[in-house]
Chains A and B, each alone.
Chain A
Amino acid sequence: MSQTITIDPVTRLEGHGKITIYLDDKGQVENAQFHVTQVRGFERFAEGRPFYEMPSLMARICGICPVSHLIASAKACEAIMSVRIPHTAAQLRRMLNLAQMVQSHALSFFYLSSPDLLLGMESDPKTRHLFGVVAAKPELGRAGVSLRRFGQHIIELLGDKRIHPGWVIPGGVTEPLLAAKRDEILKMIPQAYADVKLALGWYKQIADSFKPEADVFANFPSLFLGLVNEDESVEFTDGALRLIDAEGAIVEDGITATRFAEAIGEAVEPYSYTKFAYYKPLGYPQGSYRVGPLARLNIAKTMGTPLADKELVEFKQLAKGPVQSSFYYHHARLVDILYGIEKIEEILTDPKILDTHVRAQAAVNRLEGAGQAEAPRGTLHHHYKVDDDGKIVWANLVIATGQNNNAMNKGILQAARHYVKNGKFTEGTLNRVEAVVRTFDPCLSCSTHAFGQMPLALTILNHDGEVVDQLIR
């Protein structure tokens, strides 16, 4: 008897997700799907709004990574304004972006995934959560709370509000940084280092015991996409995108925000409100790729900061060429956090960070603009078109999680096939399947907004099947 197993909701995940596992008559896994069950329609209801309201509006796509949307959106607006923002504003935004990355990764690693890693994938669900981690290993749980607070508090100091700060605007930021706030952030840095070192130390101790999981947690060759600088160091706010293949060879380089739409398209599957991004020259689904911490570390040659550089060398030893198992997203996330702390410290030591010129002013100078940045989960792209009055007439968002969608679906199928045999499964085995999705740290609220663009051919047939009219747009 064929059977359908439903995991609803997928917990310890941001947003609304369901998993369906389809079994054939013999009880073997035939197919598995990851459903995202929410869509709000930002790209459409943004139409008619003045473009400079976009950052504040787009921030509401997500409560974990509003800063990513603020920055990508502001960059798209700045392309419309044709301005380059002051250097200090760029550095302040870079710091804000990194602080967000630290808190978001801390949420993912400690609050959402560490229960599986510490207590066990098949441990009692009644204690398999953050509070259970704090009870079983207090220093680990508290390090997580502390790291998340580090990132959130920096955002609060810079932007006045932890979530949806109105500080990032088209043209730069609204306020310069005060010396007292800079000093407060610097005082928090030592504890942040201690917290991430504790986490890395613990993770490396337990990593070997998860080799069996690593083998089947979305472990397959794929392309990878991420931002890099010209010196091939990792980049989160500027730079250009590089696409590499499973062997590490560059497929396409220097993809700026303006060129993104030519390179990346999106497909729809009937079972999810999140679309499936793919590299257009290779078509769908062959052109699917992964983004996020794993991708970034696979693509970059260095991190650009001393401690993280050492960690990157160690990370790259996990495989010959790009690391393919999505389990190692967890490891990559911790390296990202270390880099973030180092980079924030570096930015703050420059006295120019207190400069008061932090905003460029301009009206509409171009009718189209795009901006991209690395969100914690991967590349984020905002693309707007406006009329002469500056009102949005079209908007297009490609979100990180949509770019991992194909890999997540392949991943849960791979894991389900491994863990569910002959129709047998337990709560624990289903949790393992969910844990595969957790490695990607998807942001499902974000992901239900993307769309690409294509000429649309519409053929109108009469009831005899004869072509009455044809429209190509």
Chain B
Amino acid sequence: MSDAVEVKTLIIDEQEVSARRGQTILEVARENDINIPTLCHLDGLGDVGACRLCLVEIKGSNKLLPACVATVYEGMEVSTNTERLRRYRRNILELLFAERNHTCAVCVSNGHCELQTMAQEQGLTHVRLPYRNPELAVDASHERFTLDHNRCILCTRCVRVCAEIEGAHIWDLMGRGEACTVISDLHEEWGKSACTRCGKCVQVCPTGALFDKSKVGSDQPKNPDFLPYLNLMREAR
């Protein structure tokens, strides 16, 4: 069978769906109103498969695939909501909560946080792992925004929006494993970096890690929905 066939048919959660060649499982699922939870994915940004919340089961394989980056093939059979996957999603969230210091009650994003909402949606009411309680800093050197590493889940949306959309690429990752952290420029203070002050990273950050200094408390909701439109506008030129 040649790859020139444009339309693929596959099964997701026992539902027959069709897709275009090159589409990811996540895209196809969403087109068919099948919800796969994600955190690092954001419409308008390139996908990296960092958070692993979108892992799905594929019939005939014992490997789980991240739906946001895995492309569909003809005859694929996908399960998105098995008992095992639901368990793994809670495990991932437990790892995220235990890794750094997430004090929801006093966070600027309380009530508007994708991590918090995800925990509630997945039925997570407590974390079974011992909290690491690392000592992490707050970078308040920028005149408009603040970065609190305690709340960062290393989703890299900030890295991607600054690189792919704004084009300044001041954010990136440094270190590996538990030492991995988001840095600005060559690990300099955000306020002193080449940041253009566009605010896109603040809008796309799913938690209270990046926030606007003038918004404290309940006026915190973020609006990343502009991204796909921004992309469309730029492509139209």
* A-to-B contact residues, CB < 8 Å: 48-50, 52-53, 56-57, 60, 160, 164, 166-167, 169-170, 174-175, 361, 363, 389-391
B20 within 8 A of A: no
CB–CB B219/A174 < 8 A: yes
- Known A50-B213, A57-B106: A390·B140 in contact at CB below 8 Å: yes
The one of B110, B141, B213 that contacts A363, using a Cβ cutoff of 8 Å: B213
Interface string of B209-231 (1 = CB under 8 A from A): 00001101111000000000000
A166 to B106, alpha carbons, bound, how many Å?
9
A391 to B150, alpha carbons, bound, how many Å?
15
CB–CB A167/B213 < 8 A: no
| Interfacial chain A residues near B108, Cβ < 8 Å | 53
B146 within 8 A of A: yes
CB–CB B219/A50 < 8 A: no
- Contacting A at CB under 8 A, from B149-201, are 191
- Known A57-B106, A60-B106, A166-B110: A52·B216 in contact at CB below 8 Å: yes
CB–CB A56/B106 < 8 A: yes
CB–CB A174/B105 < 8 A: no
B143 within 8 A of A: yes
What distance in Å separates the Cβ of B141 from its nearest Cβ neighbour in chain A? 5
B127 within 8 A of A: no
Q: Report the nearest B residue to A168, measured CB to CB.
A: B217
CB–CB A166/B217 < 8 A: yes
| Interfacial chain B residues near A169, Cβ < 8 Å | 216-217
The one of B138, B214, B216, B218 that contacts A48, using a Cβ cutoff of 8 Å: B138
CB–CB A50/B140 < 8 A: yes
CB–CB A50/B217 < 8 A: no
What distance in Å separates the Cβ of B109 from its nearest Cβ neighbour in chain A? 11
What distance in Å separates the Cβ of B7 from its nearest Cβ neighbour in chain A? 50
| Interfacial chain B residues near A175, Cβ < 8 Å | 218
| Interfacial chain B residues near A390, Cβ < 8 Å | 140, 213
Q: Report the nearest B residue to A58, measured CB to CB.
A: B106
CB–CB B213/A174 < 8 A: no
| Interfacial chain A residues near B137, Cβ < 8 Å | 48
> In the complex, given contacts A174-B217, A389-B141, what are 7 additional A-B residue pairs having Cβ atoms less than 8 angstroms apart?
A50-B213, A53-B108, A56-B106, A56-B216, A164-B105, A169-B217, A389-B191
CB–CB B146/A50 < 8 A: yes
The one of A49, A56, A363, A389 that contacts B217, using a Cβ cutoff of 8 Å: A56
| Interfacial chain A residues near B110, Cβ < 8 Å | 166
The one of A56, A57, A60, A391 that contacts B140, using a Cβ cutoff of 8 Å: A391
A50 to B108, alpha carbons, bound, how many Å?
11
| Interfacial chain B residues near A50, Cβ < 8 Å | 138, 140, 146, 148, 213
The one of B148, B213, B218, B219 that contacts A52, using a Cβ cutoff of 8 Å: B213
A390 to B137, alpha carbons, bound, how many Å?
13
A170 to B214, alpha carbons, bound, how many Å?
10
CB–CB B105/A60 < 8 A: yes
What distance in Å separates the Cβ of A445 from its nearest Cβ neighbour in chain B? 15
Interface string of B44-68 (1 = CB under 8 A from A): 0000000000000000000000000
What are 16 A-B residue pairs whose CB atoms fall within 8 Å in the complex? A48-B137, A48-B138, A53-B106, A53-B108, A56-B106, A57-B106, A166-B217, A169-B216, A174-B218, A175-B218, A363-B143, A389-B140, A389-B141, A390-B213, A391-B138, A391-B140
CB–CB B106/A170 < 8 A: no
A217 to B108, alpha carbons, bound, how many Å?
45
CB–CB A160/B218 < 8 A: yes
A56 to B218, alpha carbons, bound, how many Å?
11
A363 to B214, alpha carbons, bound, how many Å?
8
| Interfacial chain A residues near B105, Cβ < 8 Å | 60, 164
Q: Report the nearest A residue to B136, measured CB to CB.
A: A48
